[in-house]
Chains A and B, each alone.
Chain A
Amino acid sequence: MKKKVLISDPTLRDGNHAVRHQLKKEQFASYCKAADLAGIPIVEVGHGNGIGASSLQLGESACLDEVLHQTARENLKTSKLGIHMIPGFATIEKDLKKAIEYGVDVIRVASHCTEADITQRHIEFTRKNNKTAYGVLMMSHMASKEILVEQAKKMESYGAQALIIMDSAGFYLPQDVSERILLLTENLTIPVGFHAHNNLGMAIANSVAALEAGAELLDGCARGFGAGAGNAQLEVLVAVLHRLGYETGIDFYKLLDACDLAEKELMPAPPTINSLSIVSGLSGVFSGFMKPVSRIAKDLNLDPRDIFFELGRRKIIAGQEDYIMEVAKDLAQKNGKMA
């Protein structure tokens, strides 16, 4: 019997980080069509930080959530429509209810890796409305594997139907991933998944390690289009998976076409691992901070690399972009560049 793996494609969500959440309706329609044709099981769309995240703190979307959901829904006939949601940014009343009305199928409720208990009501609400709920632990390198298991078990008890850990900073090496996924699969009854970032060039290797340790879901983006140095490059990942004997249900040629389209229409250029990405990976800071850090560093005449290391030292987590200003200010004062 062939081994199966469920692929979820957040090109239109994680990729949005790379363009400051400015992907337009037409781009959504275009890629969704191509992804649907290729048979990608789940297509995830939205602001980089999920529904309801459009804000000054995290960046404002070019499109309203409703518009994105409607557009995506119209263009996904067989693929499932997925969204990402972080309690503390989005609420059931304002955001989740509407998303469900617009026909979203899969809701990935995410929290920082030690705060799973904020997802209880949202996972329960999703299940009550007969939609698929996945639990997601972000910045998972910031907790030990035992703590990850404790947190994952909470999400499982709330009704999550799968548990995905994210390497939001692109910090992991394959061994780190194997240990974590192994312990999670040993202790959970629901399937476990992995979401890679490529800051240290390890996204594909990490994803394969996750699979070999028992993961059943993997995330990948066309050309790796995503925050920071990007994600596991979807078409490369699928190629490797097929070669390893895994069934993905994806039509390979049509996938390549979709990714060619993505490169042409979605991104100014495919992601690369530049100096800042390496630094953010090493310092364990959320990849999504790249743009605000660059901008503030430029404004205040500072080295963005210093800002990253300091953010890492202070253990600043995703969502705390406002700390970048404070850290930058402190550094500037230290350098004596500010009055």
Chain B
Amino acid sequence: MKKLKVAIIGSGNIGTDLLIKVMRSPFLECSAFIGRNFHSQGMQKAQTLRVNISADGIDYIKNNPDCCDIVFDATSSASHFEHAPVLADLGKFVIDLTPAKIGSMCVPAVNLKEGLGAKNVNMITCGGQASIPIAYAIGKTQCEVEYVEVVSSIASKSAGPATRINLDEYIHTTEEGVKSFSGAKKTKAILNLNPAIPCINMQTTVMAKVKNPDVEKLKPFLSEIIESVKKYVPGYEIIVGPVIEDGRIFVTARVKGLGDYLPAYAGNLDIINCAAVAMAEEYAKYKS
């Protein structure tokens, strides 16, 4: 099968990690790894992998419009606002990994096909990716989902300055995503940064208040959807539940990162990248 061409803009740790994942994919091929300077460690890595690199930023795609069909944008919020219209004009399928999130929300295990209909998709938040499959399962199997709460703990070290300054946005976006996919009347998201060394893996707990909670009904549906999550996030695992604790449904998931380029404890960053690649692969299959 012919691989679909992908460009990655952003040669930092996220972009470089994406590159390694793309290179492993049977459906994708990285035709351009684009940054702003050749000296970054990511660029060096790309060179050792013999990938075509460019320090021209978005101009590279403008000047070589046929170089790719899909673009991963792993730059910054401000840059994405600049890139998005350009890429839209060029008819590219854009996967936005920045905090900008101007496009459609996508969780591969839940709404992969809908993502294909959009031109710009984002992966919501790490807490969203980890919790929405569970929240979705609850929404589908329980009657009257009044309230869903998502609590995520990530290693302090895996939360960079962008995450920290955008904490409020993280919470709002996650709440919106969970609400949309679970049908809950009300949602709440909480984020904890834990500085312990050795670094903790990402852990997300989903708690739901539903009328007459039925765990037995939830279990098979949840198992099935978790299996689909595991297909693109191998390090995803349910470690507690589903159980009823203090009258509410309680499920905890842990995400261990693959450690491709990002550290293994950064499951929060890895789940986003895995989801992004899963989205791209689906697009590639759809296009072929």
Contact = CB atoms under 8 A, between A and B. Distances in A.
Interface string A66-107: 000000000000000000000111011110000000000000
Interface string B248-288: 10101000000000000000000000000000000000000
B167 A320 contact: no
Q: Which 10 A-B pairs have the closest CB atoms?
A: A322-B205, A315-B196, A91-B168, A56-B207, A114-B195, A319-B192, A88-B191, A56-B149, A57-B151, A118-B164
B151 A115 contact: no
A248 B239 CA distance: 51
B172 interface: yes
Q: How large is the interface on A (under 10, 10 to 19, 20 to 34, 35 or more residues)?
A: 20 to 34
Contacts of B191: 88
A194 B191 CA distance: 26
B156 A114 contact: yes
A9 B224 CA distance: 52
Interface stretch (A21-29, A230-238, A323-331): A323-331
Nearest to B194: A317
Nearest to A329: B240
Majority DSSP secondary structure for residues of B touching A: strand
Interface string B235-252: 000011000011010101
A317 B161 contact: no
Interface of A: 55-57, 87-89, 91-94, 112, 114-115, 117-118, 120-121, 142, 295-296, 299, 314-317, 319-320, 322-323, 325-326, 329
Contact of B172 (A93, A118, A315): A93
B156 A326 contact: no
Given A121-B168, A320-B153, A323-B153, A115 B252 contact: no
B192 A317 contact: yes
B68 interface: no
B252 A91 contact: no
B153 A88 contact: no
Nearest to B171: A91
Nearest to B175: A94
B140 to A, nearest CB: 20
B208 to A, nearest CB: 9
Contacts, number: 88
12 contacts: A56-B209, A56-B248, A88-B193, A89-B190, A91-B168, A94-B171, A118-B164, A121-B167, A142-B195, A315-B194, A317-B195, A325-B240
A55 B188 contact: yes
Given A56-B207, A94-B171, 8 more contacts: A56-B149, A87-B168, A89-B190, A115-B164, A115-B193, A320-B194, A322-B153, A329-B240
A291 to B, nearest CB: 11
A120 B252 contact: no
Contacts of A142: 195
A63 to B, nearest CB: 17
A326 B239 CA distance: 8
Contacts of A120: 164-165
Nearest to A143: B195
A159 B161 CA distance: 19
A107 to B, nearest CB: 15
A121 B193 CA distance: 17
Contact of B190 (A88, A94, A295, A329): A88
Contacts of B147: 56
B264 to A, nearest CB: 18
A320 B192 contact: yes
Interface string B114-152: 000000000000000000000000000000000101010
Q: Which of A92, A295, A320 has the most CB of B within 10 A?
A: A320
Interface string B196-217: 1000000101010100000000
